[in-house]
Amino acid sequence: MRIFTSRRGRGMALAVAAASVAVALTACTGGGGNPSGTATSDKDYAQLRLASSTAPASWDPALQTSAFDGIWQWTAVYDTLLTCNQDGTVGPGAAEEFDFTDDNTTLTMTLREGMTFEDGSPVDSAAVKASIEHMQSGGGSGAVRVAGLAIEAPDDRTVVVTAPAPRGLLATYMCLSPGIIASPAAISSPDVDSVPVSSGPYTFDAANSTSGSVMTFVKRDDYWNADAYPYEEIVVTVMTDVTARLNALKTGQVDGATLSAQTFAEAEASQLAITEWVDATNGIVIFDRDGTMVPALAEPKVRQAMNMVFDRAGIAQGLFQGLVDPTTQMFGPETEGFIAELDDEYEFDVEAAKDLMAEAGYADGFTIEIPSRTPQTDQANPLIVQQFAELGITVTETPLAGATAVPELLSGRFPMTYISMPLSSGLWAVGQEIAPDATWNVKKNATPELTALTDAAQRATGEELTETLQEINRYVVDNAWFIPWNNRVAYFGTAEDVSIDGTPDPYFQTPQLKSFK
């Protein structure tokens, strides 16, 4: 049974409101409770069992990431200042009121009264200040989103966050991992990696968990928004193999799991409830666009040639069962900045690609190293090796361990990688992979023209924002900063009497714990 279909972009309509941020921030005041989350039926809400594709690396709040099913680990135990809504807007969270200035530089938040961590210590402005400063210096992927922010705590319940320059998604970041509220004592403890202190809806039950494979969480009845989380206990089992997750769903071992295009047909035939939506761009991110590691990558013609050796329609059919749409741009079909004709910018033409390589002075190719991550690159890397060989490019693979893969990628060690980039909004794409300080622009590649555009996007709203994002899109496509293959469709399966309330928000890109009913 298919619950929701969005392969041609309906699901990403959420992101339109999200990125204009205008910031159509839902009611900047209010209780923030989720009435639809309150358990009112006779259903047994004793336990929810989920299978996660992501093995946790640490409980350190600074090392948490903001997308896909790895969020269950930290959103169970850590509250965030603001809340990501399903329509892409931002609403109250631990901060019951907030105000974002028109110039996109200053965010003032008022915390709820009487909140505590699980150890009884107060969730106050001092804890928020310590948490954001820890995120800034903690070495995680969220650090760049709060880099340079000044954090003030004028009283116990007020936090003022000021950016040195306009930052259009500043409020949005506070509903993701940069907005985590952590215990000051915990983040200064040598046990920060292994012992989480809850500010959120659940506590971590270490006695009933197994390191790296099973995580058990027990509900906190004293949490300010406890009614939004109907399950008394949540058990998350790490299953990196998608077939294992599907089998666990079919046999009733788990109640929900992320699936894939490869498992979609079997899941549907098994009468599982399936939610689907467009969530990311699959393809290659070129980190070394300045050629500091591989000089050839500084040549636009080389990057263009590398785009032209991939048969995107064939990849969509062969690797994704025809369930995805080919693309050559990093902006999703329902986000600002999308330009339909750019989806056909680089046609599959090996001979023309070879000509470009010769014009750039690299007719004989070169050697390049790429990371190998199981299962994320298991299908993609063999194709990359094969097709780059058509241009004389020799590819070597270096395996990365799952728990340390993201830090390794962000370290700048590799000139490029195959990866899925979330399609949250146009402005998110700028801050995620394009701007000089973007999280995934690990080499800080920049040109004066593009920097002027990305700076303008942070200040803009409405039609001006859309036009600026389209200029950015054209620039990065024309200069082949990326090698996109397709817009990925996400699949989430649920079994028995478990359902998902609404659709995943465009930032977390997976059902939040409070969405399970």
Please give the C-alpha separations between residue 208 and each of 203, 216, 232, 256, in angstroms, as whole numbers: 12, 6, 14, 20
Per DSSP bridges, beta strands 2-4 and 273-286 are parallel
Among residues 165, 200, 235, which one ends one of the domains?
Answer: 200
Please check the confidence at residue 2 and state whether its pLDDT lies above 50: no
| Model confidence band, residue 16 (pLDDT cutoffs 50, 70, 90) | very low
155/368 Cα distance (integer angstroms): 53
Tell me which residue range forms the domain holding 164.
Answer: 60-200
Closest CA to 510 of 8, 71, 65: 71
Please check the confidence at residue 463 and state whether its pLDDT lies above 90: yes
pLDDT of residue 33: 40
Please check the confidence at residue 515 and state whether its pLDDT lies above 80: yes
Closest CA to 350 of 403, 303, 400, 388: 388
Exposed/middle/buried for 473, CB within 10 Å: 0-12, 13-18, 19+?
A: buried
| Model confidence band, residue 505 (pLDDT cutoffs 50, 70, 90) | confident
pLDDT of residue 438: 92
Q: Is residue 40 included in any domain, yes or no?
A: no
315 and 181 fall within a common domain: no
pLDDT of residue 20: 37
pLDDT tens-place string over residues 250-264: 999 999 999 998 899
Please check the confidence at residue 17 and state whether its pLDDT lies above 50: no
Please check the confidence at residue 435 and state whether its pLDDT lies above 90: yes
pLDDT tens-place string over residues 288-316: 999 999 999 999 999 999 999 999 999 99
Please check the confidence at residue 233 and state whether its pLDDT lies above 80: yes
pLDDT of residue 56: 82
Task: Note the maximum CA span of the chain.
Answer: 71
Please check the confidence at residue 15 and state whether its pLDDT lies above 50: no
41/296 Cα distance (integer angstroms): 62
192 and 286 fall within a common domain: no
Q: Is residue 250 included in any domain, yes or no?
A: no
How many structural domains does the chain have?
2
pLDDT tens-place string over residues 132-172: 999 999 988 899 899 999 999 999 999 999 999 999 999 99
Q: What is the mean pLDDT of the chain?
A: 90
Q: Is residue 155 included in any domain, yes or no?
A: yes
pLDDT of residue 68: 86
433 and 301 fall within a common domain: yes
pLDDT tens-place string over residues 55-105: 888 999 999 988 889 999 999 999 999 999 888 899 999 999 999 999 999
Mean pLDDT of 167-190: 96
Among residues 173, 200, 227, which one ends one of the domains?
Answer: 200
CB 464 within 8 A of CB 376: no
344 and 451 fall within a common domain: yes
Please check the confidence at residue 248 and state whether its pLDDT lies above 80: yes
The domain that holds 381 is classified in CATH as 3.10.105.10
pLDDT tens-place string over residues 357-412: 999 999 999 999 999 998 889 999 999 999 999 999 999 999 998 767 888 999 99
DSSP 322-382: T-SEE-S-SS-TTSTT--GGGGGSS---HHHHHHHHHHTT-TT--EEEEEE-TTTTTTHHH
DSSP 101-125: -TTS-EEEEEEPTT-B-TTS-B--H
Give the sign of the dihedral formed by CA 456, CA 457, CA 458, CA 462. Answer: positive
Among residues 179, 200, 221, which one ends one of the domains?
Answer: 200
Q: Is residue 473 included in any domain, yes or no?
A: yes
Work out the number of other CB atoms within 10 angstroms of the CB of residue 509.
Answer: 24
Give percent above pLDDT 90 in the chain. 78
pLDDT of residue 41: 57
Q: Is residue 127 included in any domain, yes or no?
A: yes
Higher pLDDT among residues 30 and 197, named by residue: 197
pLDDT of residue 36: 39
pLDDT of residue 43: 85
Amino acid at 155: D
The domain that holds 128 is classified in CATH as 3.90.76.10
Write b or e for each residue in 193-230: b if 16 or more Cβ atoms lie within 10 A of its Cβ, otherwise e.
Answer: eeebbbbbbbbbeeeeeeeeeebbbebbeebbbbbbbb
- Return the structure tokens found at 396: 């070597």
Exposed/middle/buried for 385, CB within 10 Å: 0-12, 13-18, 19+?
A: middle
Q: Is residue 386 included in any domain, yes or no?
A: yes
pLDDT of residue 256: 97
Mean pLDDT of 99-115: 96
Q: How many CA atoms lie within 13 A of 130 on its CB side?
A: 15
Q: What is the pTM of this model?
A: 0.81
Q: Is residue 38 included in any domain, yes or no?
A: no
Token pair 């004293």 in the structure block, residue:
222
pLDDT tens-place string over residues 185-221: 999 999 999 999 999 999 999 999 998 899 999 999 9
Rounded to the nearest angstrom, the gap between the alpha carbon of residue 88 and the centroid of all alpha carbons in its chain is 13
What does the DSSP 8-state code read for residue 487? E
pLDDT of residue 212: 85
Closest CA to 132 of 223, 28, 61: 61
pLDDT tens-place string over residues 323-345: 899 999 999 998 899 999 999 99
Closest CA to 254 of 506, 106, 47, 65: 47
Q: Is residue 205 included in any domain, yes or no?
A: no
450/445 Cα distance (integer angstroms): 10
468 and 334 fall within a common domain: yes
CA angle (457 as vertex; 452, 463 as ends), nearest 5: 125
